[in-house]
Structure 1
Amino acid sequence: MKKIYSLFFTLAIVLSFFACKKDKNINYKPVASPFSAQLETTESVAADGATVNVIIKAGTDGWWVQIPSSAPWCTTTRPYGSGDFTLPVKIAANTSGAERAVDVILNPTFQLPPVTVTIHQAK
């Protein structure tokens, strides 16, 4: 009876060794999803202001938004997120008397290159 238990024990150890063998063809590191961002419309924003949508395609990856401090008239309520998202960017009324533009930079994770969208506003 001890021989049978010993045989089963040895067999279990050998099987567990082969069951835990790593597959060398599997990529165990996360892979970046394709990333893109673009304005929903390409028209200029009127002088009285509006909300512009930026369509973000990020799969399951994260992203964050950079708006220059020199453009306090351009804001968003969501400075970061993940996945596909429609990001509303609010453009305040233009009282400067001159046309203006702002570059909104969308930074994806995985050290992918950032995407810049430019929003123009009439005077």
Structure 2
Amino acid sequence: MLGTHSVSNLRGPRYVCLARDGGFIVSEECGDVKLFNSNHKLVGSLGCRYGHRFGNPAGVCADVEGNIIVADEQHRAVHLFPKSGSPICLVSKGLRKPAGVACSNSGLLLVADSGDNCVNEDGVN
């Protein structure tokens, strides 16, 4: 059975994933991507931390290095937010509505594109 913890400071939560540091990451519909620590406390957002403006953030995942990957449906792109440095656009060409993302320990990135009803495979290393 799952434990119940109330997490505030969210507006339209959509997707969630575990962060490598024990916290978790939540995308908000037509909003931002919020970062929480292992005590369920809000520690920041990607929009504020990187000065990035999301259209409609959807799927989120964290790679083995702790970088965060976000699918943005409105901007038709997938961005990597490194632990240090500026955001990097990983994939944009050919995407219609990237909704979900997953990454493997070996650097394989999967992107679910609900606009094309398919899953695309890209290497990020």
Question: TM-score normalised to the size of structure 2?
Answer: 0.26
Q: Flag the structure with more relative contact order, 1 or 2, with Cα contacts below 8 A and sequence separation at least 6.
A: 1
Q: Structure 1 length as normaliser, TM-score?
A: 0.26
More helix by share: 1
